[in-house]
Amino acid sequence: MRATVAWIAGEQDADGALPWFRDGQLDPWDSVEAAMALDIGGEHHRAGAAYRWLAGRQRPDGSWAAEYRGGAESAPAAESNHAGYLAVGAWHSWLLTGDERLVTDLWPAVRAGLDLVTRMQLPGGAIGWALRPDGTPDGTALLTGNASLFQALRCGIALAGLRGEAQPDWELAVADLGTALRVRPEDFADRSRYSMDWYYPVLGGAVTGSAARDRLAADWDRFVVPGLGTRCVADRPWVTGAETCELALSLAAAGQRDAAVEQLASMQHLRDDDGSYWTGYVFADDARWPVERTTWTAAAVVLAADAISGATPAAALFTDPATLPSAGMPEVDDRTAGWLPGGAGTVLP
């Protein structure tokens, strides 16, 4: 893990930007993911610099560009999951460091991003995936992005509690979103061939307990390749490191620790000697593809290892739904919480 964190740190720009790899593209969601891994590895200054880089490039409406290259916007689309994810990074950093200055510095950007997310919510509770050119939300909602936003809104509410600034609009938004994720799959675009749509409602915390275990069991054979990891899409002979580690996080959240360990172990064939990780592997051709090593793939490994081992104060962020405001969540059962450090009753700062 030290080698992997050191590799991520080596890809960071001097101004704090944290791209996919040195001189590559940067998107806000993946940059936050990589910053969380830096924090887990003790590189708190670097993680803070990555978060502040993002905060400094937020647009007046609370959005970010979908992609940056060399510090400049290269894909201007404003996507809802990008707008929300800084809240997860900020709360994760707080759990690790208790750095009040960082929370204070990031709070305006977190608040503006989540305010935009709530404005993009559609009548049924789902959130449009992007803004149209006229500033209105697109009517298409993506399940994976919405599941991530469910977690982001809950992290934002937790940060608001730290700040003493209640956000009732966020609380209403996350309650409606959670209902949509649990009982209205028809509200989301059909992308069921993608493994992320399979496990992300569990990873984001919207589906818990026995329902989470049932969901993961239902499509296991469609997506999991024994000994290699998780397919990105069901109809392609291609396993990817990040999806495999996110499935491991989801299994941990569902209380299936041994299966989580097995998935994390199965993707280690993607590890390079310097601690970095290749993005994926086409097993039908015995070829790594794409031919790139990404900070967000390496970060997913670190996050999964932390969650499974319970090594840091932020380990339960992805695995214990009780560590965030409930937002109308169903009760966590004993099987889900029993193996976690501190159990379901863990008290956060």
Q: pLDDT tens digits for 175-217?
A: 999 999 999 999 999 999 999 999 999 999 999 999 999 999 9
Identify whether 123 is preceded by a cis peptide bond (ω within 30 of 0).
no
Domains: count for the chain: 1
- 41, 1 in Cβ contact below 8 A? yes
Tell me the CATH number at 23: 1.50.10.10
Q: Is 277 helix (H, G, I), strand (E, B) or coil?
A: strand
Other CB atoms within a 10 A radius of the CB of residue 81 amount to: 22
- Mean pLDDT, the chain, whole residue set: 93
How sure is the predictor about 324, in pLDDT bands with cuts at 50, 70 and 90?
Answer: confident
| Res 341 pLDDT > 50 | no
**Full-model pTM:** 0.93
State the greatest distance between any 2 C-alpha atoms of the chain, in Å, as a whole number.
55
**189 near 141, Cβ under 8 Å?**
yes
Q: What's the rounded mean pLDDT across residues 109-133?
A: 97
pLDDT of 330 > 70? The answer is no
What's residue 177's pLDDT?
A: 98
Closest residue by Cα to residue 249 from 310, 334, 189, 179: 310
pLDDT range class, residue 349, cuts 50, 70, 90: very low
State phi, psi for 17 to the nearest 5 degrees.
-55, 140
Q: Are 8 and 298 in contact (CB under 8 A)?
A: yes
pLDDT in tens, 247-284: 999 999 999 999 999 999 999 999 999 999 999 999 99
115 vs 170: CA distance, rounded Å: 8
The rounded percent of the chain whose pLDDT value lies above 90 is 91
Tens digits of residue pLDDT in 2-60: 999 999 999 999 999 999 999 999 999 999 999 999 999 999 999 999 999 999 999 99
Q: How many percent of the chain have pLDDT more than 70? A: 93
Residue 305 has pLDDT above 50, yes or no: yes
Buried b (16+ CB within 10 A) or exposed e, 260-298: bbebbebbebbbeeebbbbbbbebeeeebeeeebbbbbb
User: What's the mean pLDDT in 72-84?
Assistant: 97
Q: Are strands 72-75 and 238-240 parallel, antiparallel or unpaired?
A: unpaired
Question: Is the model's pLDDT at 336 over the cut of 50?
Answer: no
152 CB-near residues (< 8 Å, 6+ apart): 81, 84, 85, 87, 88, 114, 117
Residue 70 scores a pLDDT above 60: yes
In which domain, by residue range, is 76 found? 2-345
**Looking at residue 6, what is its pLDDT?**
98
**Residues sharing a CB contact under 8 Å with residue 19, sequence separation 6 or more, in sequence order:** 11, 13, 25, 26, 31, 68, 295
**CA 341 from centroid of its chain's CA atoms:** 21
